[in-house]
A and B are shown apart, each in its own frame.
Chain A
Amino acid sequence: MSRPVRFNIKEKDTKDWGINNVQMPEGHMGEGFFATSLDKVVGLARKNSIWPLPFATSCCGIEFMATMGSHYDLGRFGSERVGFSPRQCDLLMVMGTIAKKMGPVVKQVYLQMAEPRWVIAVGACASSGGIFDSYSVLQGIDQVVPVDVYVPGCPPRPEAIIDGILRIQDLVHNESLRRRNGDQYKGLLESYGIQ
């Protein structure tokens, strides 16, 4: 007698699963060609292949581990490849309390990353020092490196971290290719004593 349980026998309707298919950028299409602007293609490629560099020091890092895990699965958004060398990564994710003594380390890691680079401050401590309004704790990592997106929460839930990643994706997608050479960006880096 065959086993009573059989798997995957029902046809599933995958239409409403909300699978994150990347849409084609605007452009002109004809037979055998498709024409669009370069920055749209570059933005599309960068946006969907962000390599995060986790800088996890406390409980927000645990939430990030859940975010990377199979249940929340950051890989759905093209960020499953976590790099542990700053030189390979696009996105510095600072998660947790940064003591003043660790401030130079965060800055060093940021300097080791290649342009274009983005920074996300996950949780209250990385954003503002959080409850640690104390002589030993850095009151927000934006005192040492420029930050693109702040995720609130103590700690934020994985959904919030994913939302932060999506906001970063918006920034990456819509960033002008000239931004990193502009005076405004150079001024921003100079205000942090970089370059």
Chain B
Amino acid sequence: MALTNEIIKTRLTDKFGEAITGMEEPYGMLSVTVPCEQNLKVLNFLYDEPVLGFRFLTDLTAVHYPDRKGEELCVVYHLHNLVENIRMRVKVYTPVEKPDVYTATGLFSGANWMERETYDFYGINFVGHPNLKRILNVDEMDYFPLRKEFPLEDQTRIDKDDEMFGR
């Protein structure tokens, strides 16, 4: 029997019960929200369970929602079941004051650089990551550029009139 979103939902609720929230299927792709401290348990379950078999981490990134108090930062895992060709999304919310999320490097080796990138741009502290340092930006950078409180423009530039350039 082909794997469907309904089966994934049932298996997840059977195993984790109320912990799984925010189930939705935008454009047919299942998306679930998981408590921050349970992210590894859910990812492991999705990986190990023979029926589910989400064994490929397509993408790992973060989103910053400044208006959601207490859960400003969202870490998103995109998983792929290569056998059934089914994709799904796992979201984890964490407060901006203490953005600690357990690392997925033990499960997916590919998460190593993706988590470094996510740390680089959003400052998510991946607990247990073997080498959590900046990967794309210069090492001297002292902020996390994709958080909403930081303007996109280069602040060292002085030859542009702020009025004219909408700063």
Instruction: Name A's B-contacting residues (CB within 8 A).
Output: 100-101, 128-129, 133-137, 139
Contact = CB atoms under 8 A, between A and B. Distances in A.
A172 B150 CA distance: 44
Contacts of B137: 100-101, 135-136
Interface residues of B, number: 14
A135 B157 contact: no
A135 B159 contact: no
User: Binding site of B, secondary structure by majority: helix, strand, loop or mixed?
Assistant: loop
Interface string B134-167: 0011100100010000101110110110000100
Given A128-B159, A133-B165, A101 B138 contact: yes
A169 to B, nearest CB: 28
Nearest to B137: A136
Interface of B: 136-138, 141, 145, 150, 152-154, 156-157, 159-160, 165
A129 B153 CA distance: 11
Contact of B145 (A128, A129, A136): A136
Contacts of A129: 154, 157
Contacts of A100: 137-138
Contacts of B150: 135
Contacts of B136: 101, 136
